[in-house]
């Protein structure tokens, strides 16, 4: 076979061109299957994931659009207490003081937009072994109606686990309830859940020794 027959098929016996067609089609089919295989590989969906660097998350909510003002108080084993006047103590952090409808409205393009959610959250950012106390307090009650309050406590590590979720009603201004008390050991495990009442409002108002 000379060069002319190799590229033009002038002296070919008729088998060379079909062989190249078969080889080309096989390679094309392999490439298509490889493309489909890669297309079917689903990447990890990270959308909506929020990494919170904390051990515990405490969430207090009351009805959307309510004018009532509910406050959360949390005490750790070292007697650190976070509340609306002290947002950070030890490993405790109160995200914000939600005051009902107050300051929940902003002007956007000349229109008043209201953020309806009433919620306060406290994160426990490290492990301090001992007892924790979570209280809720009715600071203002302009609605004049009992305030339904939900309290959720979540352990975040190694996976999220709800250790407490209950609802209660605050019935008057100054009404304070201990929602939950629990103990955390050195490994972050939660034990000894109870609802023995203890005023944290009185604790923060007490004269410093």
pTM for the structure as a whole? 0.70
Q: How far apart are CA 167 and CA 146, in angstroms?
A: 12
- Structure-token pair, residue 103: 């300051």
Q: What are the domain boundaries of the chain?
A: 3-40, 56-205
Is pLDDT of 198 > 70?
yes
CATH top-level class of 56-205: mainly beta
Residues 51-71: pLDDT tens digits?
Answer: 567 899 999 999 988 999 999
Residues in contact with 166: Cβ distance below 8 Å, sequence separation at least 6, in sequence order: 150, 151, 179, 180
Nearest of 81, 98, 84, 96 to residue 198 by alpha carbon: 81
Residues 73-121: pLDDT tens digits?
Answer: 999 999 999 999 999 999 999 998 776 555 555 556 677 655 568 899 9
């Amino acid at each position: 076979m000379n060069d002319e027959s190799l590229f033009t098929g002038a002296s070919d016996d008729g088998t060379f061109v079909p062989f190249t067609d078969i080889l080309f089609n096989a390679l094309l089919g392999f490439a298509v299957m490889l493309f489909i295989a890669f297309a079917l590989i689903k990447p990890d969906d990270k959308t909506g994931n929020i990494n919170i660097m904390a051990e515990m998350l405490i969430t207090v909510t009351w009805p959307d659009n309510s004018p009532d003002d509910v406050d959360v108080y949390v005490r750790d084993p070292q007697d650190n207490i976070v509340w609306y006047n002290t947002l950070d103590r030890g490993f405790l952090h109160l995200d914000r003081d939600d005051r009902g409808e107050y300051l929940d409205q902003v002007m956007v393009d000349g229109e008043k937009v209201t953020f309806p959610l009433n919620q306060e959250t406290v994160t426990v950012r490290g492990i301090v072994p001992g007892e924790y106390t979570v209280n809720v307090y009715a600071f203002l009650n302009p609605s004049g109606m009992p305030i339904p309050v939900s309290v959720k406590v979540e352990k975040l590590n190694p996976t999220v686990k709800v250790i407490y979720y209950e609802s209660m009603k605050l019935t008057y201004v100054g009404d304070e309830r201990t929602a939950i008390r629990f103990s955390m050991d050195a490994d972050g495990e939660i034990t000894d859940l109870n609802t023995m009442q203890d005023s944290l409002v009185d604790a923060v108002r007490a004269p410093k020794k």
